[in-house]
Amino acid sequence: MSALDILTSVLILSGSALALTAAIGVLRFPDTLSRMHAATKPQVLGLLLVLAGAAIRLRGNSDVGMLILTGIFTVITAPVIANRVGQLAYREHNVRDDLLTTDEMDESAAEPEAGNRPG
Amino acid sequence: MNTVWVIAGAMLAAAAVATMFRMLMGPTTLDRLVAMDTLVAVTMCAIGTWAAASLDTTVTYGLTALALITFVGSVSVARFRVPDIADPANPANRGHQ
């Protein structure tokens, strides 16, 4: 086993462990917002770690570009999805108020702007 | 290297099973959407692990396609789904009765 093989193993194992952490968080946490919190961060980082491990293992191959593209797309699209889902979850009160320390959207939710359509 | 692939595959399989439990339990559409996102990410991790294990690079195109399609799917569901709880103040927002 060369040093690069060991690096690949470490990256892929830690990425898989992060994916498992995300899944346990999605299963165990109490409301939608904390499930999103548990899911998104380890999910993106775990995927990037696995992709980095695979790219090191497949080094020299022309298809490594697709792995890099996948990482870029994931990093670009994850905030958009989290923004949409988080806003919807807040609007429909899928939030446990006793778990919030501050609620910065409280006033804007009480007085919605004219012409501001839900969704 | 074989033990590495087996351990990674076992962890990813356990993650997929746990996520599917949440996807079945709900209780709201948004929870299922979050669970589906996680499930797709776990699938992408598994495909990446498979590519590294088998040195088979034809599956990497599937990874990129999954990354794009799951974005379109999640945003469409968040935009067009029927709300779970009816909102009496908004007649357009009837929800499931």
Domain positions in chain B: 2-80
Whether residue A81 and residue B75 make contact (CB cut-off 8 A), yes or no, is yes
Is residue A20, in this structure, part of any structural domain at all? yes
For residue B97, give how far its alpha carbon lies from the nearest alpha carbon of chain A (Å): 16
Question: What's the CA gap between A72 and A90, in Å, rounded?
Answer: 28
Q: Is residue A117 part of a domain?
A: no
Helix runs in A29-104, H state only:
32-57, 64-91
Closest CA to B12 of A55, A46, A40, A19: A19
Give the number of other CB atoms < 10 A from CB of residue A68: 14
Inter-chain touch B31–A9, beta carbons under 8 Å: no
Buried b (16+ CB within 10 A) or exposed e, B30-45: bbbbbbbbbbbbbbbb
The number of domains in chain A is 1
Q: Cβ(A46)–Cβ(A13) under 8 Å?
A: no
pLDDT tens readout for residues A51-109: 999 999 888 878 888 889 999 999 998 888 888 888 888 777 767 766 677 776 666 55
ipTM: 0.81
* pLDDT computed for residue B97 by the predictor: 41
* Confidence (pLDDT) at B15: 92
Domain of A101, in residue numbers: 3-109
CB atoms within 10 A of CB A101: 4
Nearest in space to A76 (alpha carbons), one of A100, A109, A57, A48? A48
Residue A42 lies in a domain: yes
Token pair belonging to B86:
């009816």
Give pLDDT tens digits for B31-86. 888 899 899 999 999 999 999 888 888 888 999 999 899 999 988 988 887 776 65
Q: Which residues on chain B are in Cβ contact (under 8 Å) with A20?
A: 11-12, 14-15, 18
CATH code: domain of residue A8: 1.10.287
Interchain CB contact of A86 with B (< 8 Å) = no
Q: Residue A25: in which H helix or E strand, if any?
A: helix A3-28
Quote the pTM value.
0.83
